[in-house]
Chains A and B, each alone.
Chain A
Amino acid sequence: MDLVYGLVTGVLFGLLMQKSEVLRYDRQIGALRLKDMTIVKFMLTAVIVAMAGIYALYDLNLVKLSIKGASLGGQILGGLIFGAGWGLLGYCPGTSAGALGEGRWDAAWGILGMLLGAAVFAEMYTSLKNTVLAWGDLGKLTLPGVLGLGNWVAIAGIWVLALVLFWWFEQKRL
């Protein structure tokens, strides 16, 4: 059943990304060139809606959170490396599958590269675990936890910041 849920959720997510053109290389590179914020609008709107939904369900004891631990070595170094590769490829792991679906088959080269990248990481994991990944290991922190705020105060703050950002994007026609 899990597999069916995964497939159905993926089909719907793929459809939403395809309809709003966020799968396209031009849109992704447009965001990285700070000229076209389409993918940022899509992403941040999804984030703030999901945030309110997930925390409401969490308060009702209907869902569990799945917070990834903060490891500054991993997230800062890995994040910068990922970003560099993303700038070259112009698709991220999820959007590469979607881009291939709409016929942009340069994404297939990226997918093959990503499979190799995953294999290389698996070879190096044991040595990375005790070095880079252990640097700045802070555990499963949340923003409201770090800032000493209530969850809903933090959510309201993030909503305001996102809406201001959207307003600015529209003013600048980004």
Chain B
Amino acid sequence: MGPKYPKSKAWSPYAAGALAGLLLALSVLVAGSYFGASTTFVRSAGLIEQVVSPGHVDSLEYFAKEVPKIDWQFMFVIGIFLGSLVSSLSSGTFRVQAVPDAWRERFGANPATRAVVAFCGGVIAMFGARLAGGCPSGHGLSGLAQMALSGYVALICFFIGGVFVARILYRGR
């Protein structure tokens, strides 16, 4: 894999990024809402746990802080799914794939291996995001755009952790 994709019809990341930046500023103006995604996973986990054990959810301090409910950000994350679905279907780039190309080249086509690592990665990533107080949307986009010190510290650490693990996984490639 390399940066040049001659047949790619992908939009320039600068153009798409600039539009995303306008969208963020507009969202703050119109709805008063900054982008974020990881709190939604907390609220969703709480909503799921409520089905099994509502008393336990009520007993946890974190769910009093991040109340399990459907809010702006929850719909934002659903919207990302839908926007990507419509965009990929209409442009012919939708592809049902259990193992990404770069993963397949390095680790083979077994979907179970990929599933286990993706699941564990998800557990670790979300625990870290909540400890950091945000993810690449909340800290990365919204935090950096507001020049919040917290955002710059978090994003730099996201990349240090990510580069370290990617180097181990793809060593010698």
A residues in contact (CB < 8 Å) with B: 2-26, 29-39, 41-51, 53-54, 57, 62-72, 74-90, 92-107, 109-123, 125-126, 128-129, 132-133, 138, 140-146, 151, 154-155, 158, 166, 173-174
Chain A residues in 8 Å Cβ range of B35: 9, 13, 94
Q: Which residue of B lies closest to A8 (CB)?
A: B79
Chain B residue at minimal CB-CB distance from A94: B37
Taken together as a complex, chains A and B put the C-alpha atoms of A86 and B22 apart, in Å, by: 26
A-B Cβ contacts below 8 A, count: 537
Q: Is the interface of A mostly helix, strand, loop or mixed?
A: helix
Q: Are B125 and A49 in contact (CB under 8 A)?
A: no
- Which B residues contact A (CB, under 8 angstroms)? 1-4, 8, 10-35, 37-38, 40-42, 44-46, 48-49, 60-63, 65, 70-88, 91, 93-103, 111, 114-167, 169-170, 173
Give the residue among B16, B96, B169 with the most A Cβ atoms within 10 A. B16
- Chain A residue at minimum C-beta to C-beta distance from B61: A126
Which residue on A lies nearest to B169, using beta carbons?
A87
Whether B122 pairs with A26 at a CB distance below 8 angstroms is no
Q: A70-B149, A93-B38, A96-B122 are in contact. Are A86 and B157 (CB under 8 A)?
A: no
**Residue pair B100, A2 in contact (C-beta under 8 Å):** no
Q: Once the chains bind, are B133 and A122 in contact (CB under 8 Å)?
A: no
Inter-chain contacts of A141 with B (CB < 8 A): 148-150
User: How far in angstroms is the closest Cβ of chain A from B42?
Assistant: 5
Interchain CB contact under 8 A, B60 and A7 = no
Query: Which B residue sits closest to A47, measured CB to CB?
Result: B144
Most buried by A among B27, B70, B122, B144: B122
CA distance A120 to B42 in the complex (A): 10
- Compute how far the CA of A32 lies from the CA of B100 in the bound complex, rounded to whole angstroms: 15
Q: Which residues of A contact B150 (CB under 8 A)?
A: 67-71, 75, 140-141
Q: Report how far A68 CA is from B135 CA in the complex, Å.
A: 12
How many Å from the CB of B153 to the closest CB on chain A? 4
The answer to whether A18 and B93 touch across the interface, beta carbons within 8 angstroms, is yes
List the B side residues contacting A20 at CB < 8 Å. 10-13, 15-17
Quick one: which of A38, A47, A126, A143 has the most chain B CB within 10 A?
A: A47
Please give the distance in Å from A85's CB to the nearest CB on chain B: 3
The contact of A6 among B12, B74, B127, by CB within 8 Å, is: B74
A102 touching B88, Cβ below 8 Å: yes
Q: List 16 A-B contacts (CB under 8 A).
A: A3-B75, A6-B72, A6-B73, A11-B86, A22-B16, A45-B21, A49-B20, A50-B21, A63-B29, A67-B146, A100-B81, A106-B111, A115-B45, A117-B129, A121-B130, A122-B62
- Taking a contact as CB atoms under 8 Å apart, the answer to whether A14 and B83 are in contact is yes
Chain A contacts for B14, CB-based, 8 A: 41-42, 45, 166
- Determine if B95 and A104 form an interchain contact, defined as CB atoms under 8 angstroms apart: yes
Cβ-defined contact, A106 with B135, below 8 A: no
Instruction: Given A6-B76, A34-B163, A154-B147, decide whether A120 and B123 contact each other with a Cβ distance below 8 A.
Output: yes
